[in-house]
Amino acid sequence: MTASHSQIPSKPIPLIDEDNEAFWASCRRHAMELQRCSECDYWRYYPSPVCHRCSSFEFEWTPVSGLGTVYTYSVVYRPPSAAFAEEVPYVYAVVELEEGPMMPTNIVGIEPSEVTIGLSVQVTYEDVNDSIALPKFEPQP
């Protein structure tokens, strides 16, 4: 690595741990699964060892449809670090999945100025490295 390259910070990469490794493994397979509570059927995200609603430890990793709508968003013009400088403007959003959970993400495959709250979107994956694929969303056809 050259001196000039070492001064460009890298993008934040999620850390894999006991509680989220199945989630990241499902994203890596491009087939996202979320936790569904075995006691109360509540879908949860972010990954958690316990149900946010009923406090049960029992759950199943369950495939989701990958469909949702934009709950809210912001078009980022000023990058948070040099690592994102090439990509502005881009869309940071929270997508409300069909199953219920809210997922922070990026909206891709559309001009940022075209994104609206309520836009129907579907998941697409950005392979970051061998362990991590980030779930992003694009307009439904």
Partner 1 sequence: MSRDQRVAITGVGTSEFARAIPDKSANRLRLEAILSAIQDAGITKDDIDGMVISEGGGTAGNPRWHIELSELMGIYPKTVCTSIPMGGATPGFCLDIARWAIESGRCRHVLIAAGAKESGAGRGSHGHGFQDQLSVWPGHSVNYEHPFGPLLLTFFAAMANRHMYEFGTTHEQMAAVAVACRRHASLNPDAVYRDPITISDVIDSRPISSPFHLLDCCMVNDGAVAFVVSSAEAARDAPQPPAWVIGSGGGHSSYFMGSLCGGIPGRERENFDLVRSSARLAGDHAFAEAGIRREDVDVALLTDNFTISPLMMFEDLGFCEKGEGGPFVEGGRIEIDGEIPLNTHGGLLSCNHAATNFQNFAEAALQVRGNCGERQVPDAKIALAASSAGVGSTHQVAILASN
54 belongs to the binding site for Zn ion (CB under 5 A): yes
58 belongs to the binding site for Zn ion (CB under 5 A): no
Which of 51, 48, 77, 68 minimizes the C-alpha distance to 120? 68
82 belongs to the binding site for Zn ion (CB under 5 A): no
- Binding at 31: pick from partner 1, Zn ion, none (beta carbon under 5-8 Å per type): none
- Binding at 56: pick from Zn ion, partner 1, none (beta carbon under 5-8 Å per type): Zn ion
Instruction: Kindly list the residues in this chain that would bind partner 1 in the complex (CB under 8 A).
Output: 9, 11-15, 20, 40, 42, 44-46, 51-54, 71-82, 84, 87, 90, 92-94, 96, 100-106, 117-118, 128, 134, 136
Q: Are 32 and 133 in contact (CB under 8 A)?
A: no
x/- track of binding to Zn ion for residues 92-111 (CB under 5 A): --------------------
56 belongs to the binding site for Zn ion (CB under 5 A): yes
Q: Are 140 and 124 in contact (CB under 8 A)?
A: no
Dihedral angle computed from the Cα positions of residues 35, 37, 43 and 44, in that order, rounded to the nearest 10 degrees = -60
Which of 37, 63, 40 minimizes the C-alpha distance to 50? 37
Q: C-beta of 34: minimal distance to Zn ion in Å?
A: 13
Q: C-beta of 60: minimal distance to Zn ion in Å?
A: 12
Residue ranges with strand state E in the chain: 33-37, 43-44, 59-63, 67-76, 90-97, 102-107, 120-127, 133-139
Q: C-beta of 43: minimal distance to Zn ion in Å?
A: 10
